[in-house]
Amino acid sequence: MRFTDSPVIELAVNNSKLLFHQDNNSMHVGTTVWAASLVLVKFIDRWCTTAANDDNPYATLINFTNKRAVELGTGCGVAAMGLYLLGLKDIILTDIAPVMPALKHNLKKNKSVLGKMLKTAQLNWNNSNQIEALKPPFDVVIAADVVYIEESVTPLLTTMKLLVSDSGVVLLGYQIRSPEAHVLFWEQCDRIFDVEKVPHEHLHPEYAYEETDVFILRKKL
């Protein structure tokens, strides 16, 4: 993969700066930085800098102490690295094999900021052995801009359900990419999860894109 001529995305998180190289000539969408991951990180960043009192409706959500996490479709690593800097220290970054070179490239580029190389694992959403190898359940499942192919919707939601604990949350950065996948995703999601949409006025003011949303999903019990 070549990153030398690709645009670099800068993201300020918790008084640090992350740099993400893209490979926009790749055949894989995971080697590009998508808006939903930026919006998700900056939403958490905004409320992590707010005092944990009655003025912070997300104080419990962003208490990442002793929480295990996994990201689905990590791509360039934006969401996972950003949330790591915001306190989510036990996290596994997952994606398919062709995207791993891009992910590992960005992990190495940001090692001085992160302080270490984060854990990675290959994960196909329809591979039960790979899912079990992650040793679920997790307190937090992260996913950003992963709903774009209709055929992948059912395995994605099944994987989310298998990975998240009964008391855990799925943090979903979302933008409509395919009308068909969009309809199917929410039709199936509503059967599995209770859905909370973050109001746009609660997003980071510089990252409150009209077409991008953040959802908090909790397993129906």
List pLDDT tens digits, range 86-99. 999 999 999 999 89
How many CB atoms within 10 Å of residue 142? 29
The distance from CA 169 to its chain's CA centroid, rounded to whole angstroms, is 12
127 Cβ contact list (under 8 Å, min separation 6)? none
Decide if 120 contacts 107 (C-beta within 8 A). Answer: yes
CB 54 within 8 A of CB 138: no
Q: What is the pLDDT of residues 50-88, one digit of tens each?
A: 755 568 899 999 999 999 999 999 999 999 999 999 999
What are the pLDDT digits (tens) for 129-153? 999 999 999 999 999 999 999 999 9
Domain membership of residue 42 (yes or no) is yes
Q: What range does the domain containing 150 cover?
A: 8-219
Tell me which of 215 and 21 has the higher pLDDT. Answer: 215
Q: What total number of domains does the chain contain?
A: 1
| pLDDT at residue 97, as a whole number | 92
Q: Which two tokens stand for residue 17?
A: 């700066």
Quote the CA–CA distance of 203 and 45 in Å, as a whole number.
Answer: 10
Note whether residue 108 is domain-resident: yes
CATH at residue 185: 3.40.50.150
pTM (whole model) above 0.85: yes
Tokens of 193: 């999860």
Residue 1 lies in a domain: no
Characterize the bridge pairing of strands 8-13 and 119-122: unpaired
Check pLDDT > 80 for residue 2: no
Q: Residue 3: inside a domain, yes or no?
A: no
Lowest mean pLDDT among 14-23, 89-98, 167-176: 14-23
The per-residue pLDDT for 145 is: 95
